[in-house]
């Protein structure tokens, strides 16, 4: 395995990783703090919020798939310095996500109970979660637009835009949630309803700030008037790259969400323990997500420049670093486990389940980093999104979900069900690793 010897590559990679890690940390911190604040006053509200967030999780994954396809093309054209094509790609992507966001927002707003019943059989959780969904769906459309503009900013190496936007918007989110959940500054305590209000306001702030940066920053080749731009060939390429990624995100998010459907039926204590574990999982994942996002910018740029051999070496380097990060995250997860759990008010069973679930994710981390980096950072950089789609389709839907469902029906211990749900990552990591070294993903998409 030959790795890159280009010091500028490593410097560039870490220069992007650090701010993107901070951005991911800020994003996850909102969910973490909300979970802790609600968990400190009401375990049911905490569970209702977590289950209601599954709908947004699937929606955001699809938006992120569209944004990722846009970002791959933007990054390759950025390496080629083809600024006109970048403007057209961004314009066409924004039009697509706007329509998609409007449709989903209307559906969730009209039928929140239907969506909540997918993830819980508890009447109280369904009622509370439905009220939350009916409000937060109002921000779905602007969230889709913000996701696309922020992904494009990352692809253009303008991580300052991403970081500043998130520092302000997530800071506002946490401040408002604290005030509204507990009822400070003369406001009556609102609990989970306060989370909805705070989230909507914060997403509006995010939309306005990133929009201002995106339109006015001279380093970003896009202006408001560019929204009318159109090119049939670039549109075809956009859908060619984006649709497999969207399919992958759909299969993955629904599969992950199906795991939540199964664990959501295991009883209130197991649900609470699993939800707390997921908060820690997402919190620890911020380093890995920041790294793989940075790799998703650097590698396509090399391909866009036509540096094929160097791109292969960079991919090898990215893999080895990911493996090291994965082992580090395993250690961090185990070290912070008890301190993290002490932040929650959990009954004895919920605490026991949470400790078991956390041990499982600690073992999985190295495989998880390899799976994410291969499927997301490396393969997608050359437009090879189909592998992730087919892998998740087969592994998740024909192996993981049936096995987890059978385990649940046969009254298996909750930790066994979670081990099955998380264990699929090992298979996906093997597939991703194998596919990378076939080098079929190495393509310059700007020449097509």
Q: What does the pLDDT read at residue 221? A: 87
Residue 12, token pair as written in the block: 């560039």
pLDDT digit string (tens) for 360-400?
A: 999 999 999 999 999 999 999 998 889 999 999 999 889 98
- Describe the crossing of helices 192-216 and 159-182 by its angle, rounded to 10 degrees: 160
Quickly count: other Cβ atoms within 10 Å of residue 125's Cβ. 23
Residues 6+ apart with CB under 8 A from 414: 263, 266, 270, 273, 274, 353, 356, 357
Collect the ranges in the chain with pLDDT lower than 50: none
The secondary structure of 212-257 as a DSSP string is HHHHH-TTS---GGGGG---HHHHHHHHHHHHHHHHHHHHHHHHHH
Q: What does the pLDDT read at residue 254? A: 81
To the nearest 10°, the Cα dihedral for 121, 122, 125, 128? Answer: 90
Q: What does the pLDDT read at residue 448? A: 58
Residue 33, token pair as written in the block: 């703090």
Angstrom distances, CA of residue 301 to CA of 82, 124, 158: 12, 50, 14
């Amino acid at each position: 395995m030959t790795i890159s010897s280009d010091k500028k590559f490593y410097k560039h990679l870490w220069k992007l990783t650090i701010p993107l890690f901070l951005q991911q940390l800020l994003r996850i911190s909102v969910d973490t703090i909300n979970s802790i604040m609600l968990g400190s006053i009401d375990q049911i509200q905490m569970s209702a919020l977590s289950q209601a967030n599954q709908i947004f999780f699937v929606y955001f994954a699809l938006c992120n798939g569209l944004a990722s396809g846009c970002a791959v093309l933007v990054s390759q054209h950025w390496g080629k310095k083809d600024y006109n094509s970048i403007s057209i790609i961004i314009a066409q992507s924004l039009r697509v996500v706007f329509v998609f966001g409007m449709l989903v927002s209307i559906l969730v707003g009209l039928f929140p109970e239907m969506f909540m019943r997918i993830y819980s059989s508890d009447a109280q959780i369904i009622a509370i979660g439905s009220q939350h969904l009916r409000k937060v769906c109002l921000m779905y459309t602007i969230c889709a637009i913000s996701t696309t503009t922020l992904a494009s900013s990352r692809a253009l190496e303008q991580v300052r835009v991403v970081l500043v936007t998130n520092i302000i918007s997530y800071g506002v989110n946490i401040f408002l949630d604290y005030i509204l959940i507990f009822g400070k500054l003369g406001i009556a305590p609102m609990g989970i309803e306060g989370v909805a209000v705070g989230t909507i306001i914060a997403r509006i702030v995010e939309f306005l700030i990133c929009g201002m940066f995106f339109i006015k920053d001279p380093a970003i080749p896009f202006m408001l008037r560019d929204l009318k731009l159109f090119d049939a060939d670039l549109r075809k390429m956009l859908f060619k790259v984006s649709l497999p990624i969207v399919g992958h995100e759909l299969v993955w998010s629904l599969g992950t969400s199906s795991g939540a459907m199964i664990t959501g039926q295991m009883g209130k204590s197991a649900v609470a323990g699993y939800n707390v574990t997921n908060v820690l999982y997402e919190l620890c994942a911020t380093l890995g997500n920041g790294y793989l996002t940075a790799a998703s910018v650097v590698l396509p740029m090399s391909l866009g420049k036509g540096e094929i051999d160097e791109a292969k070496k960079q991919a090898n380097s990215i893999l080895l670093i990911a493996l090291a990060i994965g082992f580090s995250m395993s250690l961090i997860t185990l070290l912070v486990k008890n301190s993290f759990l002490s932040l929650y008010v959990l009954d004895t069973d919920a605490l026991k389940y949470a400790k078991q679930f956390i041990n499982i994710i600690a073992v999985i981390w190295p495989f998880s980093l390899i799976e994410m980096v291969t499927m997301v950072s490396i393969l997608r950089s050359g437009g090879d999104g189909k592998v992730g789609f087919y892998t998740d389709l087969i592994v998740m839907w024909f192996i993981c979900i049936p096995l987890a469902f059978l385990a649940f029906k046969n009254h298996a211990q909750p930790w066994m069900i979670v081990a099955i749900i998380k264990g699929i990552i090992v298979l996906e990591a093997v597939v991703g690793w194998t596919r990378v070294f076939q080098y079929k993903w190495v393509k310059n998409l700007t020449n097509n």
